[in-house]
Amino acid sequence: MKFGVIVFPGSNCDIDCFYAVKDVLGHEVEYIWHDTEKLNGFDCIILPGGFSYGDYLRCGAVARFSRVMAAVKEHAAAGKLVIGICNGFQVLTEVGLLPGALVRNKNLKFICDTVPLKVEANDSPFTSLYQKGEIINIPIAHGEGNYVADEETLKKMKENGQILFTYVDNPNGSMSDIAGICNEGRNVLGMMPHPERACEDILGNSDGKRLFESILNALEGSLKNE
Amino acid sequence: MKAKVYVTLKKSIADPQGTAIQNALGKLGYSNVEEVRIGKLIELDLGDVSEGEAEAQLVKMCEGLLANTVIEEYKYEII
């Protein structure tokens, strides 16, 4: 399976994502510079965390216009997998691939911690190896992770089971304790917590590894069906 | 043609920065302050365009980049 990690000016979790795919999972992965026009041959695209374009104006607002994002939209429209982690999640909401927006944490603080998450749904390519209702611990590191959406959008997301992860102890003020969501097509994931930082027991936590293994499972399954 | 664009959080979106400033103003003795909302002021020099063109451009700029209409409202004035 081939993963691609998008690198914007200011991305700083790109190497962690690359490492998780290559060294932990043992799969092929390439860095993709933000001015790349075509994404050919990638099974899953990762938008990593960081401060793309300095987070000027709003987090993800400028990254949205980088050349590669048109290609990411095409990739998603073809039903292929896209994950946005932290700043990547913010970019995906700005570009409209995911509903809602992320605003300043309620307590105004940048929060760097490991927090318990509840897996709300496991019928997605990103969460299939978790149990529904399972509590996992995943690191967070953000100042603007407070998820907001209008009531109608929230209601629709709940009905469709698009909320995949919620915080057990809401750290940032997110509506409905939302930590991670997917789109209606269930092929685009956005989450503020960092699964790529929780992939090895030797680093203290491997709860995030199953997210990547779920993706591999889904990709291998779709190959068999072709 | 010059313009000012004001971008503010929608009323329905909590503004923790505004609340923090309100609390600080309270400590300065301004206990009468009932609400503070923080926004952005963006000043633009649009060069040599007509007022009509400037307005059309400003709407597109605001909708496309300057404001995220999921969470923010905007208004502009042409000077």
Given the residues A13, A44, A86, A182, the one annotated as active site = A86
Say what the pLDDT of residue A226 is: 61
**3-class SS string, A122-186:** CCCCCCCCCCCCCEEEEEEEECCCEEECCHHHHHHHHHHCCEEEEECCCCCCCHHHEEEEECCCC
Please give the Cα distance from A116 to A124 (Å, whole number): 20
Query: Are residues A103 and B71, on separate chains, in Cβ contact within 8 Å?
Result: yes
Q: To the nearest whole angstrom, how far is the Cα of B44 from the nearest Cα of chain A?
A: 14
Please give the Cα distance from A173 to A177 (Å, whole number): 7
Q: Enter the CATH code of domain B2-78.
A: 3.30.1280.10
Say what the pLDDT of residue A224 is: 74
Given the residues A27, A34, A142, A194, the one annotated as active site = A194
Supply the Cα-derived Rg of chain B in whole angstroms.
16
Contacts of B40 in chain A (CB under 8 A): 57
- List, in order, residues 6 or more apart from A95 with CB less than 8 Å away: A60, A64, A69, A72, A73
Contacts of B39 in chain A (CB under 8 A): none
The residue-averaged pLDDT of A158-175 equals 98
Q: Which helix (H) or strand (E) holds A215?
A: helix A209-225
A52 and A9 in contact (C-beta within 8 Å)?
yes
pLDDT tens for residues B15-54?
989 999 999 999 999 999 999 999 999 999 999 999 999 9
Beta bridge partners, A44, equal A3, A81
Q: How far is CA A199 from CA A13, A24, A125, in A?
A: 14, 7, 18
Its ipTM equals 0.85
Please give the Cα distance from A143 to A145 (Å, whole number): 6
Higher pLDDT, B12 or A71: A71
Query: Are residues B70 and A149, on separate chains, in Cβ contact within 8 Å?
Result: yes
Percentage of chain A with pLDDT > 90? 96
The answer to whether residue A86 is catalytic is yes
Say what the pLDDT of residue A223 is: 74
The answer to whether residue A13 is catalytic is no
Give the type of residue at A223. Answer: L
Q: Give me the residue spans of the domains in chain B.
A: 2-78
pLDDT at A225 over 80: no
pLDDT tens for residues A81-123?
999 999 999 999 999 999 999 999 999 999 999 999 999 999 9
The residue-averaged pLDDT of A43-64 equals 95
A2-225: CATH class: alpha beta
The answer to whether residue A226 is catalytic is no
Please give the Cα distance from A94 to A59 (Å, whole number): 8
The residue-averaged pLDDT of A20-37 equals 97
Chain B CA closest to residue A57: B66
Report the residue from B12, B17, B65 with minimal CB separation from A104.
B17
pLDDT at B6 over 70: yes
Q: To the nearest whole angstrom, how far is the Cα of A149 from the nearest Cα of chain B?
A: 7
Given the residues A27, A94, A196, A199, the one annotated as active site = A196
